[in-house]
Amino acid sequence: MKRPLLTLIAASLTLAACSDQTNTQSDTNAEADPVVSETAPLSEETTPAVDEFGPSNPFYTESNLYLKYPPFDKIENRHYEPAMMAGMAQQIAEIEAIASNTEAPTIENTLIPMEKSGSILNRASRVFFALASADTNDDIEALRASIAPKLSAHYDEILLNADLFARVKALHDGLADMRLDAETTRLVKETYKDFVRAGAELSAEDKEKLKAMNAKLATLQTQFTQNVLKEKNDKAIVVDSAEELAGLSETQIASAAEAAKSRDLEGKYVLPLLNTSGQPSLSSLTNRDLRERIHKASLSRGLSGGEFDNREILTKVAKIRAERAQLMGFDHHAAYSLSNQTAQTADAVNTRLATLAPAAVANAKAEATDLQKMIETEGGDFQLASWDWDFYTEKVRADKFNFDESQLKPYLEMENVLVNGVFFAAEKVFGLTFKKRPDLPVYHPDVKVWEVFEADGSSLGLFIEDFYARESKRGGAWMNAYVPQSNLLKNQPVVANHLNVPKPPAGEPTLLTWDEVTTMFHEFGHALHGLFSDVNYPSFSGTSVPRDFVEYPSQVNEMWADWPAVLANYAKHHETGEAMPRELLDKVLASSKFNQGFATTEYLAASLLDQAWHQLKPEEVPSADGLLEFERNALETAGVAMDEIPPRYRSTYFSHIIGGYSAGYYSYIWSEVLDADSVKWFKENGGMTRENGEHFRKTLLSRGGAEDAMTIFRNFRGAEPDIQPLLERRGLSIN
């Protein structure tokens, strides 16, 4: 289970749930965990930072703003390191006091103080790692690289503390004789499991080996993700003339001109790259040579041989992970990772992916045939290539359904989608209302804060909206919690959603693609998971659930995007206020299964690459020079190798698997089985009703990780999950 042991670890490791909808092409990356690991104890060189920490540092005491909201207006780059160094020292002292207690271990003198420990580090690391993703800069990136191994050492000092583990083990061994409530019983079991998985039962010699492995991983993983961000910005496509951008809207061309101007390229145009292999402009650009240049630049990331080359880093990470898994008694990293997920085993994941792959590829090949026919109908004398897929998909869509995605955008203005779509659905299903809080400080002018209210008018928590793309922000879409809910700590939730919507020129409306609309609903599903959390212990708060379960509630929330009553409330022309014509809505719904062969195949290809890397034994890991051959062979062996459809992420810019989704990218399709079955339940039980919403909230959204994930699902659904609704949704048939 992806459940951090301590509040501190939850703060600094878990950057939260990330969207990667496999039924869309939205750019949704999950550099989910700035994964840290172990190194030697802190050296004397680091102690001056501790001495600099004092009352003038905004992390010194708990925020006095509403609901402990971070004081962003007072936080400066110079505050992070002294706060985190002092926070580590504080927590080690707290842990030592627990571990050295001569009284017999109890919940009150062992687990409760562990849950409360690390308050300073918790505050500082939450904000630091959140902004390292949302609004980074050179100082933050330098500190991220240097602090990772120090945090690693800190976590090892806790998780490999023999005296502390002895107390935890004593509680675990004595569970049968204790009368504990269900959540506390789970806390005992999960805390014990966390210690064992962290190596607490290893010999002293093996613990040192583990620390060295984790220390190296901390550095390598940080280097990898920093390379991805830097190269994404570095490889932005520079175009000399507006004529080359034919097919893009006037607003998109103006945005490209603004992007060029910001890089001192006056008179030129810049198309930024997103994280995924595919790029949004490929669906519109009529210039085939430019489409090819964009796509090849995207696919070449991490392979250039220059400063951002990630091949050697990735192979080292894979080998160390494989060695660490064997040290822990597992065949490979996937076996180690999956033993703590709902899937449990690599065989279960392999079977699920192999079951879906043939139908997905068959559909994709049929789609490719349709695209080739369209090329030939228009007089093209070339074979369909990967950079043509999106462009001709829109033409086939227009031919089959008599509309294209550009017809939707005038009806999808961003704030209207949020307020009259996302928030409206939350009001109808859960009784929530929202009010802007401009009095609360933000870390960037584009950020907005909303207070969320219950149906009875009481305050539930705060929601932070950060939707625009910028160079200081990593790609993708994700949710994080600045203040996770906890009854023990008397915390109400403060959660944030991050998207990467291109910002239009000043004065222009922000018009969304349908993928961006779906992503907004998806990420708010994560936000609801955090906002509705009602648990005692911070380790179980909100999205602290297994990786292959965390996407499930957010995917369920996507259903409201095209729910007729919701769509009718927000899909209105941004100039005239006219509702989206019913016939256009019908076309949107009718085309929901369109291009699903492509969408499923590119996702499965990435998922299978993830498993291929993490089911290797140390001696099987390829060299950096052999990486491309390994990737090609893995896709061919799995039956998903199609030149026209590269994996959603190639290995060298696949940040998910360097972060918290290592051996876990399958999670989206695994969760979608639960999602599709749950959507079926809603429809069978009356759809958008408060009664259904309250049942979903009470049995599932409020429980966080306080119960076993699949038990939570069964409590909601009343049955085991059924894969058939997923197959029907994606238009897949399995013979």
Active-site positions?
523
Domain ranges of the chain: 34-224, 235-299, 347-403+596-665, 414-590+672-730
At 436-447, the pLDDT tens digits run: 999 999 999 999
Give yes or no for residue 659 having a pLDDT over 80. yes
Binning pLDDT at 50, 70 and 90, where does residue 734 land? Answer: low
Give yes or no for residue 690 having a pLDDT over 70. yes
Buried b / exposed e along 34-72 (16+ C-beta atoms within 10 A): bbbbbbeebeeebeebbebbeeebbbbeebebebbbbeb
Mean per-residue pLDDT for 20-38? 35
Instruction: Return d(Cα 279, Cα 25) in angstroms, integer.
Output: 9
Residues 6+ apart with CB under 8 A from 456: none
Strand order in the sheet with 433-436: 433-436, 448-453, 459-468, 494-501, 478-483
Cα 240 off chain centre by: 35
Predicted pLDDT of residue 621: 98
Whether 417 and 572 have beta carbons less than 8 Å apart is answered as no
How many CA atoms does the CB half-sphere of 431 hold within 13 Å? 16
Per residue, the 3-state secondary structure of 374-394, as one string, reads HHHHCCCCCCCCHHHHHHHHH
Instruction: Return d(Cα 138, Cα 76) in angstroms, integer.
Output: 13
Predicted pLDDT of residue 733: 64
Predicted pLDDT of residue 709: 96
**Letter for the amino acid at 19?**
S
Question: What's the helix, strand, coil split of the chain in %, to 5?
Answer: 55, 5, 35
Cα 521 off chain centre by: 14
The long-range contacts involving 398-401, CB below 8 angstroms and separated by at least 24 positions, are 399/374, 400/591, 400/594, 401/587, 401/590, 401/591, 401/594
How many CA atoms does the CB half-sphere of 9 hold within 13 Å? 26
Give yes or no for residue 677 having a pLDDT over 90. yes
DSSP sequence for 439-489: TS--SSTT-EEEEEE-TTS-EEEEEEEEEE--TTS-SS-EEEEEE--BTTT
Instruction: Return d(Cα 473, Cα 501) in angstroms, integer.
Output: 11
- 496 forms beta bridges with 464, 480
**Torsion angles phi and psi, residue 435, rounded to 5:** -140, 135
Binning pLDDT at 50, 70 and 90, where does residue 304 land? Answer: confident
Mean per-residue pLDDT for 599-611? 97
**How do beta strands 448-453 and 433-436 pair?**
antiparallel
Binning pLDDT at 50, 70 and 90, where does residue 475 land? Answer: confident
pTM for this prediction: 0.89
At 94-133, the pLDDT tens digits run: 999 999 999 999 999 999 999 999 999 999 999 999 999 9
Which two structure tokens, joined as six digits, stand for 258?
């603004």
Give yes or no for residue 33 having a pLDDT over 60. no
How open is the CA angle 150-152-155, to the nearest 5 degrees? 115
Instruction: Return d(Cα 94, Cα 169) in angstroms, integer.
Output: 19
Which two structure tokens, joined as six digits, stand for 98?
């627990």
Q: What CATH code is assigned to 34-224?
A: 1.10.1370.40
- 461 forms beta bridges with 452
Which 3 state secondary structure label does DSSP give 350?
Answer: helix
Predicted pLDDT of residue 426: 98
Instruction: Return d(Cα 676, Cα 51) in angstroms, integer.
Output: 54
Instruction: Return d(Cα 467, Cα 469) in angstroms, integer.
Output: 7
Instruction: Return d(Cα 250, Cα 256) in angstroms, integer.
Output: 10
Using the Cα atoms of residue 327, residue 617, residue 314 and residue 126 in order, give the sign of their dihedral: negative
310-312-316-322 Cα dihedral, nearest 10 degrees: 80
Tell the burial category of 253 from Cβ atoms under 10 Å away from its Cβ (0-12, 13-18, 19+): middle
Whether 192 and 340 have beta carbons less than 8 Å apart is answered as no
Mean per-residue pLDDT for 312-335? 97
Using the Cα atoms of residue 79, residue 659, residue 263 and residue 251 in order, give the sign of their dihedral: negative
Q: Is 46 left (phi over 0), alpha (psi -120 to 50) or beta?
A: alpha
Decide if 34-224 and 414-590+672-730 have a common fold: yes
Binning pLDDT at 50, 70 and 90, where does residue 36 land? Answer: very low
At 547-591, the pLDDT tens digits run: 999 999 999 999 999 998 999 999 999 999 999 988 887 887 788
**Letter for the amino acid at 360?**
A
Q: Percent of the chain beyond pLDDT 70?
A: 93
Instruction: Return d(Cα 74, Cα 53) in angstroms, integer.
Output: 15
Count of helix runs (H) and strand runs (E) in the chain = 28, 7
CA distances from 136 to 82, 127, 449, 579 (A): 18, 11, 20, 39
Give yes or no for residue 43 having a pLDDT over 90. no
Per residue, the 3-state secondary structure of 522-547, as one string, reads HHHHHHHHHHCCCCCCHHHCCCCCCH
At 45-98, the pLDDT tens digits run: 334 455 589 999 999 999 999 999 999 999 999 999 999 999 999 999 999 999
Predicted pLDDT of residue 21: 42
The CATH number corresponding to 414-590+672-730 among 1.20.1560.10, 1.10.10.10, 3.30.360.10, 1.10.1370.40 equals 1.10.1370.40
Length of the chain measured in residues: 735
Q: Percent of the chain beyond pLDDT 90?
A: 85
The long-range contacts involving 631-634, CB below 8 angstroms and separated by at least 24 positions, are 634/608, 634/609
Binning pLDDT at 50, 70 and 90, where does residue 612 land? Answer: very high
